[in-house]
Amino acid sequence: MYELERVEGDNRGDVRLYAISTCVWCRRTKKLLEDLGVGYSYVFVDLLDRDPRSEVEAEVMKWNPRCSFPTMVIDNKRCIVGFQEEEIREALTYGG
């Protein structure tokens, strides 16, 4: 098992971010979420031990078979791979 870290903010649904702590696109994605004031959960996959890491990777691969990071999953319905600023804004802004 692994635990997601929670960042409080406006409720725009279940926003999950799979990220790598040293990856700058991942950091930009986190920062964008924080600038948007959206509440979300995240995990730094590179900081996990092997077993929980495999677990996360299996989960990510369901959405993004290349298993690249950042991968964002919204409400278990929509997946955004990479730092796609416009797409993320559009997905998480009301009336957008």
Size of interface with other proteins, in residues (CB under 8 A): 26
Q: Which of 27, 36, 41, 59 binds other proteins (CB under 8 A)?
A: 27
Strand partners, 42: 5, 17
Q: Is 70 exposed, middle or buried (0-12, 13-18, 19+ CB in 10 A)?
A: buried
User: If we measure between CA atoms, which residue out of 33, 32, 12, 20 comes closest to residue 77?
Assistant: 12
Residues 35-94 within binding reach of other proteins (CB under 8 A): 44-49, 53, 57, 61, 65-69, 81-84
By CB under 8 A, name the binding residues for other proteins. 20-27, 44-49, 53, 57, 61, 65-69, 81-84
